[in-house]
Structure 1
Amino acid sequence: MRIAIVGGTGTVGRHTVRAAEDAGHDVRVLSRVSGVDVRTGRGLDSALLGVDAVIDVTNHVTLSAKKAREFFVNGTRHVLDAERRSGVAHHVALSIVGIDGIDASYYAGKIAQERTLAEGAVPFTIARAAQFHEFAGQLLDSTRGPFAVMPKAPIRPVAAREIGAHLVRVAVSEPQRRAADLVGPRREDLADVARRQLTFDGIYRRVLEVRFPGAYGRGLASGALRGGADVLTGRITFDEWLQSEDHSAPQGSDRCDRTCASREGRCDQDAGTR
């Protein structure tokens, strides 16, 4: 089967590419590096010729609902239009567990993306997953200094590796509009996860848990992002992920220093493993 993965160089994308290749599929990785830009539609028509299924894991980090909607709606429309012209039979989009009542900030863009798919002409499946284990680290990396502010957010994080494998299984199945939600094996709190990652990486910062205001903050604090009862459950816990090859210590941390010393100066981050 020929599968195109849009955003295949990102955190979830690279695991999706690996899972598809390991399963023996013919994989096309679509990104701006390969000459494809979903914002404008550039390069999509030629990239999707002969493709059976598309997995969309594109992302745009923003807290602006307007910017999130613009990115996900316009990008999805460009991909759907190119799929229709190229005869793609199945579009799979990664979305987020529990966002139905959080039509604000970044989640507003994902909700709008789902609506755009439902209005389109290409058979589709929305595959929702919980926050991936890398999420806390991305928030930590977005700020500097002795303090790190984390929103109050009960979560059930899942490994990006397992999300990638799940997306491939969905892509090779018949379109079903909504796949079963995928969540991680344990209930966690975002602030606690961030503290454990900092401790593991040997970084000394104080994590402050704050309840964010407005609809976005209420949604995060509600526990909705943990998903419901009828879900698929991943196997890799956050602590297991910390010790795996999928997690690399930031440069300058105690653990990175130890890792680099043990590898004669070759640091995980320099090697591009994150």
Structure 2
Amino acid sequence: MKFAIAGGTGTLGKATVLAAQERGHNTVVLARSRGIDITVPEQVTPALEGVDAVIDASSVATMDAKESVRFFGKATRTLLAAEQEHGIGHHVAVSIIGAARINAGYYAGKATQEKILRGLSGGWSILRAAQFHDFALQFEDRYAFANIRLVPRMRAQPVSVDEVAAALLEIVEGGPQGLAPDIAGPQEERMADMVRRYLSVKNSPNRALEIPLPGRLGRGLRDGSLVAGPHARLGTQTYNEWLATQL
């Protein structure tokens, strides 16, 4: 099969491209660095020639709800329109566990993406995943004050990016299934503890300070909205096992 992978140069995108190629599939990477902006129809449509399915693993670097909604809304509609023109019958999107429930900040864009797809009569699959193990790394140099790194009070269930990529391939090979079972890691973690352990492994002089964020976003991070429910598929690699690979 031939798959187009939106966001194919990102963390999940690269893992998905590699997994697809290892399974004998052909891949087309849709990314700005490859000259394809997935919000621009004139760039997306010709790139989908001969494609059997589209995997949307794209992301946007923002925590602003309006910007996130704008990006995911336009990108999803652009991809779907191009798929329709080429008769492509399967669109697979990666969302986040709890994003539709929180519907604030970055997660508002993912909620919009889900709403668009769930409004279709068929031909789509959504895989909701927990945060990847390397999510904690973003706090090493961001939200900094002197040697303090501010980390939101957050419950997470980090999952291996390779295990998410493998799950995506199973979905795209199997055909449209609507909402697929969520995927998360084998155990729950506190984000601040994850950051502290990462800083320790890196012998960093920085310290992590946990703070509660206000509003709907903060509540969603704290109340377990982002952790797996009883019917989720659980990966096998723990955060500590992944961290050992970073030494």
| Letter of the 2:167 counterpart | H
Provide the rounded CA distance (Å) in 2 between the counterparts of 1:125 and 1:153.
Answer: 28
| Letter of the 2:211 counterpart | V
* In the alignment, structure 1 residue 191 sits paired with structure 2 residue 192: yes
Q: Please identify, of 124-133 and 25-34, the stretch whose mean Cα deviation from structure 2 is larger.
A: 25-34
1:243 Cα deviation (Å)? 2.2
| Letter of the 1:132 counterpart | F
The secondary structure found in structure 2 opposite 1:24 is coil
| Letter of the 1:208 counterpart | L
State whether residues 54 and 92 of structure 2, in contact with CA within 8 Å, keep that contact through their aligned partners in structure 1.
Answer: yes
Provide the rounded CA distance (Å) in 1 between the counterparts of 2:121 and 2:231.
Answer: 29
1:12 paired residue number: 12
| Letter of the 2:4 counterpart | A
State whether residues 80 and 120 of structure 1, in contact with CA within 8 Å, keep that contact through their aligned partners in structure 2.
Answer: no
Provide the rounded CA distance (Å) in 2 between the counterparts of 1:81 and 1:122.
Answer: 14
State whether residues 80 and 122 of structure 1, in contact with CA within 8 Å, keep that contact through their aligned partners in structure 2.
Answer: no
TM-score, normalised on structure 2?
0.96
Provide the rounded CA distance (Å) in 1 between the counterparts of 2:111 and 2:236.
Answer: 27
| Letter of the 1:134 counterpart | D
2:54 paired residue number: 54
Distance of aligned partners of 1:141 and 1:160 in 2 relative to their CA distance in 1, 3 Å threshold: farther
1:39 Cα deviation (Å)? 2.2
Matched positions, count: 246
Encode CA deviations 1:178-219: one digit per residue, 9 max, x unaligned. 001000011100000000001011111111111100000001
Provide the rounded CA distance (Å) in 2 between the counterparts of 1:46 and 1:75.
Answer: 15
State whether residues 157 and 238 of structure 1, in contact with CA within 8 Å, keep that contact through their aligned partners in structure 2.
Answer: yes
Q: Which runs of 5+ in 2 are unaligned?
A: none
Provide the rounded CA distance (Å) in 1 between the counterparts of 2:67 and 2:121.
Answer: 25
1:155 paired residue number: 156
Q: Which runs of 5+ in 1 are unaligned?
A: 248-254, 256-274
1:70 paired residue number: 70
Q: Please identify, of 229-238 and 114-123, the stretch whose mean Cα deviation from structure 2 is larger.
A: 114-123
State whether residues 91 and 122 of structure 1, in contact with CA within 8 Å, keep that contact through their aligned partners in structure 2.
Answer: no
1:143 Cα deviation (Å)? 3.7
The secondary structure found in structure 2 opposite 1:131 is coil
1:131 paired residue number: 131
| Letter of the 2:156 counterpart | I
1:180 paired residue number: 181
The secondary structure found in structure 2 opposite 1:93 is strand
1:97 paired residue number: 97
Provide the rounded CA distance (Å) in 2 between the counterparts of 1:89 and 1:121.
Answer: 11
State whether residues 100 and 110 of structure 2, in contact with CA within 8 Å, keep that contact through their aligned partners in structure 1.
Answer: no
- Quick check: which has more Rg, 1 or 2? 1
Provide the rounded CA distance (Å) in 2 between the counterparts of 1:41 and 1:141.
Answer: 35
Encode CA deviations 1:111-138: one digit per residue, 9 max, x unaligned. 0011111234661000000000011102
The correspondence of residues 237-252 of structure 1 with structure 2, limited to 5 A, is 237-244=238-245, 247=246
TM-score, normalised on structure 1?
0.86
The correspondence of residues 78-97 of structure 1 with structure 2, limited to 5 A, is 78-97=78-97
1:139 Cα deviation (Å)? 2.9
The secondary structure found in structure 2 opposite 1:216 is helix
Provide the rounded CA distance (Å) in 2 between the counterparts of 1:142 and 1:122.
Answer: 40
2:225 paired residue number: 224
1:42 Cα deviation (Å)? 3.6
The two structures, once aligned, show a CA RMSD in angstroms of 1.3
State whether residues 41 and 75 of structure 1, in contact with CA within 8 Å, keep that contact through their aligned partners in structure 2.
Answer: no
Encode CA deviations 1:92-124: one digit per residue, 9 max, x unaligned. 000001223211111111000111112346610
2:38 paired residue number: 38
